[in-house]
A and B are shown apart, each in its own frame.
Chain A
Amino acid sequence: MEKTARTAHSVVAAVREDARFKAVEVRKQDGVVEILWARSLPAESRTWTDFAAACGFATSADGREKSQRKCPASVVGLDSTGVAFYRISVPTVGADEMAAIVRMQAESLLPLPSDQIEVAWRTTPSTNGKIDITIAAARGEYLLRFAESVRSFRPHDILLSYEGTARAWRDFFSDREREALIASLSAENTQVCLVQNGLVTHAAVLDTGVDHLASSDDGAAPGQVMERFAQDMRTILGTFGWSESSDWPVLVLSDGTEVIDRVVESLNAAGLHARATMPRAQNLRMPSGFEVRDVYEYRVPLGLAVAALETPAGTLDLFERIKESDERKAKSIWHSVVLAGAVAAVMLVVLLMVWRSVDVALAKRLNSQIADPNFQAGRQRQVLLKTVARHRPDILQLLADLSTGQNDGIALDSLYFKKGQAVTIAGQAGNMDQMYKFQDGLRGQKGIADVEIPNATRDPKTKKIKFTMTFHYKNYTKKDAVL
């Protein structure tokens, strides 16, 4: 969940209700609430992530959120069926003591161990010197799963849908009372909440909804379901502290359908002083195609959006500990990253220092070794040895190379070797073929290259071929071989 201290310009509120995802974007200007758009999708085979994408909250392929830019603030309504409400009265005490008392009371009321339950509470002043406390409780695991599922909406708050219902009644329905019991019927259940001075002080859910009540007409016992519903309502109101003498009216939010009229009738018949309250368009600007009756359809997200547009005060925040845990986790990750970075930086500095020290020490040691006269003498000797070896031609090997190979009929008369010049040999051959074979033989010798015959003539007296051959021998006949 995102946290923001600023009041948003516009807010997207989303809920899952009646097997549909519903969302509206709302902004408030000059006291007029403007609905920018409203959208709903069947929830079957869809997830919150799909709906978030449909509402313009960009998500990547793996469902992770993308950039937070350009997305309006958002709020999500928590389905009230998983939330239990309790109301207790305690003496007027300090805030710390109050918290301790609430926790103690809650532990005694809750059906599960306290570490599995998340509790939120708020106080309302009572008349007899005591303070009334409204406690909302839900399973931690359920809340965690819900928070995880709506992450793609990046909500800066998750509110109870009761709060949306109460706020919608206050701002968008016809009857206004300081205190009232609000009944909001959906397809499968009915939310009942006691609203006092604009705040939900008690709430409950009846598992009978419009679908059951409407189908009761076709049943074998007409009106039986309606009667049972009225009795259930009466029981619930009794737990709220309602009595026939109390002046809380029972207001049933209505879109004008006949079923709700019959519910009101049935409740009245049960002595509950109920009346239907219809949506109105006062101080409400709606987009084209959005009718007044749609206010009823989108009442919960509308109420949540308007509540989120104002600075929240006394909200029942069941996700406080989860948010703190998330923040702690994020902080812990950040701390780990910073610590790892710091350790890596220190290690790097140490490594560099060690590396430098080793280099400096090694350079010092080698330099002192090199400066040693014995080393210098040894080095000088070695350099000289290498130089001499490089400049000492193996003349014996050269002579051996000349006498090896195809030299039948060949007699050499002279050889001239000088560093930096091609070796020249002069000789006689019985015929040209023998001479060329000798040339080829030389070409095949390792270290002998570029064997040329610049001169070859037949001696008229001896009939032999007198020739001169030149060739290069290793590196010694190159110009740079001369010392």
Chain B
Amino acid sequence: MIQIGVISAVAIFAFTWGADWLKGWGEARTALVKAKSNLQDVEADGAKQAALLSIVPVFELPQPEDRQKFLFRDTLLEQLKKAGINTEPLQILGTRRTKALPYKVLKVKCKGKCKFDQLLGFLASAQENPYLVGVEELRIQCDPKEPPEKRKEVEIELTVSTFVE
């Protein structure tokens, strides 16, 4: 009889508080998994972070479109000038929503002529632009009639992107 009493008491306790207790635990576990996932977004080991920084050495958080597009354009112009590339006026192509981020993508197109070395110089310094996301499109065209050794300039069409708020 005592055993049945003890078992009943345990069962009553388990059914009354056990379910809530387990539910609370389940919620805590879910929150924990979510929190850990959030932390993983931030945490990266040394090698991965170094690799990340080699691709994106500088980056500024996106500003509202009105500010960002000028910041981006001005920096880009400065870099082009520094590389010695003369371009037509930069063309802002407008914005587009991104799939996974709360930002829009703004693209800027430029056309011009330059020496191939100048283009390489610009591409090497492009990642120093803290507003740049990446090169979206690039066309390089030489005069096919000229033999390779006599080709002095190339025509370029470059489209680059930035995030805007």
Contact = CB atoms under 8 A, between A and B. Distances in A.
Contacts of A207: none
A146 interface: no
B61 A395 contact: no
A145 B25 CA distance: 57
Given A366-B35, A379-B41, A389 B138 contact: no
Contact of A363 (B35, B123, B136, B139): B35
Contacts of A399: 120, 123
A140 interface: no
A359 B137 CA distance: 49
A54 to B, nearest CB: 41
B41 A383 contact: yes
A460 B102 CA distance: 56
B142 A413 contact: yes
A326 to B, nearest CB: 23
Nearest to B55: A389
Interface residues of A, number: 43
Contact of A418 (B55, B127, B133, B137): B137
Interface stretch (B26-34, B67-75, B76-84): B26-34
Given A370-B38, A388-B134, A359 B161 contact: no
A478 interface: no
A369 B35 CA distance: 9
Nearest to A419: B136
Interface in A355-375: 356, 359-360, 362-363, 366-367, 369-370, 375
B51 to A, nearest CB: 8
Contacts of B28: 356, 359-360, 363
A37 interface: no
B123 A483 contact: no
B133 A391 contact: yes
A392 interface: yes
A483 B101 CA distance: 10
Contacts of B61: 377, 380-381, 384
A414 B141 contact: yes
B32 A392 contact: no
B144 A428 contact: yes
A114 B57 CA distance: 95
A378 B42 contact: yes
A198 interface: no
Q: Is the interface of A mostly helix, strand, loop or mixed?
A: helix
Given A384-B163, A388-B59, A399-B120, A363 B32 contact: yes
A416 B159 CA distance: 12
A388 B42 CA distance: 15
A415 B133 contact: no
Interface string B63-105: 0000000000000000000000000000000001010110001
A382 B48 CA distance: 12
B31 A363 contact: yes
Nearest to B27: A363
B25 A393 contact: no
B46 to A, nearest CB: 14
Residue from B31, B61, B98, B163 whose CB has the most chain A CB atoms within 10 Å: B31
B140 A414 contact: yes
30 contacts: A359-B25, A359-B28, A360-B24, A362-B32, A366-B35, A366-B36, A370-B39, A379-B38, A383-B41, A386-B52, A387-B101, A388-B133, A389-B56, A392-B56, A393-B134, A394-B55, A395-B123, A396-B124, A399-B120, A411-B147, A413-B142, A415-B138, A415-B140, A416-B138, A418-B137, A418-B138, A419-B137, A466-B144, A483-B133, A483-B136
Given A356-B24, A414-B141, A415-B139, 10 more contacts: A366-B39, A367-B35, A388-B59, A392-B135, A396-B120, A399-B120, A418-B138, A466-B144, A483-B98, A483-B136
Interface of B: 21, 24-25, 28-29, 31-32, 35-36, 38-39, 41-42, 44, 52, 55-56, 59, 61-62, 96, 98, 100-101, 105, 120, 123-124, 127, 132-142, 144, 147-148, 161, 163
Closest 8 CB pairs of A and B: A366-B35, A392-B134, A411-B148, A363-B32, A363-B31, A413-B144, A389-B55, A418-B137
